[in-house]
Amino acid sequence: MNKYKILVVDDEESIHLLYKEELEEEGYEVHSAINGEEALKAFDAQEPDLVILDINMPGMDGIEVLRQMKQKKPRVPVILSSAYPEYKQDLASWASDDYIVKSFNLDDLKSSVRRNLTK
Amino acid sequence: MPELRRDTIIGRWVIIAKERGKRPYDFVIEKDKTKGGFCPLCPGNEHTTPPEILAYGRPDYSPNGPGWTLRVVPNKFPALVIEGNLDKRGEGIYDKMNGIGAHEVIIDTPRHDETIPTMSHGQLIQTFWAYRDRMVDLAQDSRFRYIIIFKNFGRAAGASLEHSHSQLIALPIVPHRIQEEIQSSLHYYEFKERCIFCDIIRQEKSQDIRIVCENNDFITICPFAPRSPFEMWLMPKRHQSSYITIDDNQFHSLTDLFLETMRRLDKALPEVPYNYMLHTAPVRSPFLEHYHWHIEIMPKLTMVAGFEWGTGFYINPTPPEESAQFLREINLD
């Protein structure tokens, strides 16, 4: 059976390592990108089933990446992940399928991934 | 010499530059770059918003699809949640309650690039209908005490999406800013047995130096002590404390005057970022002799910084008499 492919976009390497380890344990294939430009290239090349996207990144921010991804493939779920809960109220985040506040406890993220891959 | 002016309703002080006020062309307005791309508020993307609460304009009943002329949806990631009880409680001297409330988005138009000054009368009136319809519906919920409606236009004024929309938040408390207005109006009424807003309208009509425009039912003025250059208040001429009681004729007059007001502002300061807020009587006491609903329009031209936060004063480089004159003399033909 093919594994679901997840693209993790974040400028912090520690987040990549943490998400990769935890999500691979759940049986997903995890790819990484460290900025907006790289994320959009990986989105085309890897054709992920789901994207976990940081908002605050140098250069192109997560909201801009989100708009471009949704323009290309609106049905691919994108989960915004940010350390700042207040961005959640920003209407630009509406284009995402879920919004997760970063935490060491990844239960919320994992359940959001499961929910969005099966909806 | 600068002048200190006191807002006659809530007593807030502002510092007004008197010698030579800043003209519209003295302000540098950074125009937002058009981003384009995916917009969750556009027709065809209804699946990206929560299920709609209200929609106008569809010829058949097909919710959450295109064909609408105005749409209201709950906030996708709300700050306050609609389900649950308030459970008011104390923690020593500190009060708290559950974060119950409603946060809705009114998508004013299906057209991504339409702004209020470019809207038709027939489009904008739907926004005003929606404000009333949602207020009437939410007022039936006994947990809510106040419903505030506002619009942010432009990134500098807090709007993150280009597509025109307003927001509504129903709260389990009456906000302090509104309580202040209502209490001060009551204080005035107890002395004079008249509504302070009605008296302001009477005085502005007789002085005729801060009126921007008016029609039979409504008037727009630059208030005597404005916080921002080109701040305007739009008020009904006859006493009316709650927005939910406005009638069909008033909806048309309100739309006409609001359009004229916003077109004047847009011509003076093209694409200026702004906020407007609808202040109305609280949900549980809609009929007040001493209070008057109104819309406050605040162009975003100055910074609120340490002095303003520290004192509650505002510094305004344009006297309202000059703002009103500029706006009044604009030719809209």
Mean pLDDT by 10 residues, chain B (333 residues): 92 83 73 74 90 91 89 89 87 89 95 95 98 97 95 86 93 95 96 96 97 98 96 98 96 98 96 96 96 97 85 90 94 88
- Closest CA of chain A from B149, distance in Å: 16
SS3 for B121? helix
Contact B16, B35 (CB under 8 A): no
| Residues in CB range of B99: below 8 A, 6 or more apart | B79, B80, B81
**In contact, B17 and B2? CB cutoff 8 Å:** yes
* Confidence (pLDDT) at B178: 96
SS3 state of residue B189:
helix
Name A84's Cβ contacts closer than 8 Å, sequence gap at least 6: A55, A56, A101
Q: Going edge to edge, which strands form the sheet with A5-9? A: A29-33, A5-9, A50-54, A78-82, A98-101
Residue of A nearest to B80 (CA): A89
User: Which of A91, A100, A119 should one mutate to test binding to chain B, selecting the residue with the greatest count of B CBs within 10 A?
Assistant: A91
Q: Is the pTM of this model over 0.90?
A: no
Q: What is the pLDDT of residue B119?
A: 97
Chain B: nearest CA to A95, how far in angstroms?
Answer: 5
Q: How far is CA B33 from CA A33, B155, B161, B262, B270, in A?
A: 27, 10, 12, 21, 14
pLDDT in the model for residue B67: 92
- Nearest C-alpha in B relative to A97: B48
| Interchain pair A67, B77: CB under 8 A | no
CB of A71 less than 8 A from some CB of B? yes
Q: Identify the closest residue of chain A to B79 by CA–CA distance.
A: A89
Which chain B residues are closer than 8 Å to A99 by Cβ?
77
Instruction: Give the closest of B37, B45, B161 to A91, CB-based.
Output: B161
Residues of chain A with Cβ-Cβ distance to B76 below 8 Å are: 93-94
Residue A19 binned pLDDT confidence (cut-offs 50, 70, 90): very high
pLDDT higher than threshold 90 for residue A85: no
DSSP state of B118: G
State the smallest CA–CA distance between residue A115 and chain B in angstroms: 16
Chain A residues close to B49, C-beta within 8 Å: 94
Q: What is the ipTM of this complex?
A: 0.72
Q: Which member of B49, B77, B161 has the closest CB to residue A89?
A: B77
- Tell whether the model's pLDDT for residue A58 goes beyond 80: yes
Cβ neighbours of B77 in A, within 8 Å: 88-89, 93-94, 99
Tell which of B76, B103, B108, B153 to mutate to test the A interface (max A CBs under 10 Å): B76
Please name the member of A88, A90, A94 whose beta carbon is closest to the beta carbon of B48: A94
Q: Which residues from B are below 8 Å from A93, CB to CB?
A: 76-77
How many pairs of residues across A and B have Cβ atoms under 8 Å apart? 47
pLDDT score, position B249: 94
Question: CA torsion, points B66, B71, B77, B79, in degrees to nearest 10?
Answer: 180
A101 touches chain B (CB under 8 A): no
Surface of A (33-52) touching B: CB under 8 A: none
* Interchain contact, A93 vs B48, CB within 8 Å: no
User: Which candidate, A21, A17, A18, A84, places its Cα nearest to that of A54?
Assistant: A84
**Active-site annotation holds for B165:** yes
In this prediction, residue A115 has a pLDDT band, given cuts at 50, 70 and 90, of very high
Query: How remote is the C-alpha of A101 from its chain's centroid?
Result: 12
**Per annotation, catalytic residue among B47, B103, B112, B165:** B165
Interface touch A74/B38, C-beta < 8 Å: yes
